[in-house]
Amino acid sequence: MKTSNNVSTTILNPQKLAHFISTVHENPEVLAQVLLDSDIPDTKAHTIAVTGSTAAGKSTLIDKIIHELRDDDLTVIVLAIDPTEEESGGALLGDTIRMRDHYSDKGVFLRSFGSRGASAAVTQYLSQVIELASHFADVVLVETAGAGQADTGVKRYVDTFVVLPDTRSDAINLLKAGHHRHADILVVNVRAGSQEDERFFALLQSFAQTLPPKDGWRVPMFRVNAETGEGVGKLAREGLYVHRDFIQTP
Ligand SMILES: Nc1nc2c(ncn2[C@@H]2O[C@H](COP(=O)(O)OP(=O)(O)O)[C@@H](O)[C@H]2O)c(=O)[nH]1
Ligand SMILES: [Mg+2]
């Protein structure tokens, strides 16, 4: 899917994508028709969801992941479901304010959505928008609203399900069925100087070892500092890309 060896690659036809997103948003049934548009290539992005509770650091982490993907010359679409924002004529900032470094990068397309008060963090039209977006870039990153442990709905729409567990969880939370049990990749955001985060990291490390491999995939765990970006390069290259290659292997 790479089209050149420098980072000047651009998102395919962003105006068209924006137009199609609005169209599908208003009427999900038109997706099939929209996809027949002859200008839409049949290439498919690697689709990744990042989920976790509010303030876990998802948006901050995605900002750093974008840097890594762009360093590798991949174009990126971010679809952020923002629970705190109501729809305001497509002019939402919300989560993407943390990604403002990338506003002027033509290889990045950022879009925030209000969650419209849906109980699940997955909006009605999200699956269609992911499907649509997957034809316009190399990677589609979805940030979900972090509506809680039961929120695994988005998993079925993406290739790679990344979970940032709440570092305030204890062992009981970990043992309960929760979204971290559905993760393809676990990420712990350890804030500099936080004993609580350190403790949680150690706890999760032992928990992760007890997870049985799923269809041959052993769920890896990565330690990052979302604020500084430390560990995010490793997450991208030893986590995200490896999982992409894993699922593409017949
Ligand atoms: N010190 C520190 N702050 C962080 C870190 N990650 C996130 N934050 C802050 O925590 C708040 C919530 O982060 P955000 O990325 O918006 O979380 P989200 O709700 O999961 O998307 C913001 O004020 C961030 O600046 C980190 O690794 N270290
Ligand atoms: Mg966010």
Ranges 14-18, 23-27, 57-61, 100-104: which has the least confidence: 23-27
* For residue 97, pLDDT beyond 60: yes
* Alpha-carbon torsion (168, 174, 176, 177), positive or negative: positive
Nearest Cα residue to 50 out of 181, 198, 155: 155
Residue closest via CA to ligand 1's atom 7 equals: 57
Provide, rounded to the nearest whole percent, the portion of the chain with pLDDT above 70. Answer: 81
Nearest Cα residue to 241 out of 69, 76, 71: 69
Torsion of CA 122, 128, 129, 132, to 10 degrees: 150
Position 34 confidence tier, pLDDT thresholds 50, 70, 90: confident
Q: What pLDDT, in 10s, does the model give residues 36-83? A: 876 777 888 999 999 888 788 999 999 999 999 999 999 999 998 876
Residue 40 near residue 135 (C-beta atoms within 8 A): yes
E-only strand ranges, the chain:
46-52, 76-82, 108-114, 139-143, 160-164, 185-189, 221-224
* For residue 150, pLDDT beyond 50: no
Q: Which is more confident, 241 or 87?
A: 241
* For residue 223, pLDDT beyond 80: yes
* pLDDT confidence of residue 218: 92
39 CA distance to ligand 2 centroid (A)? 32
Q: How high does pLDDT run on average in the chain? A: 82
Ligand nearest to the CA of 63: 1
5 CA distance to ligand 2 centroid (A)? 31
b/e map of 142-164 (b: 16 or more CB within 10 Å)?
Answer: bbbbbbebebbbbbebbbbbbbb
Please give the average per-residue pLDDT across 181-201, as a whole number.
91
Ligand 1 pocket check: which of 58, 60, 179, 196 to mutate, most ligand atoms within 8 Å of Cβ? 60
DSSP string, 132-175: HHTTTSSEEEEE-----TT--GGGGG-SEEEEE--TT--HHHHH
Provide, rounded to the nearest whole percent, the portion of the chain with pLDDT above 90. Answer: 41
69 CA distance to ligand 2 centroid (A)? 19
**CATH class given for the domain over 14-248:** alpha beta
46 CA distance to ligand 2 centroid (A)? 21
Pocket of ligand 1 (CB under 6 A): 52, 54-60, 95, 98, 146, 189, 191, 225-227
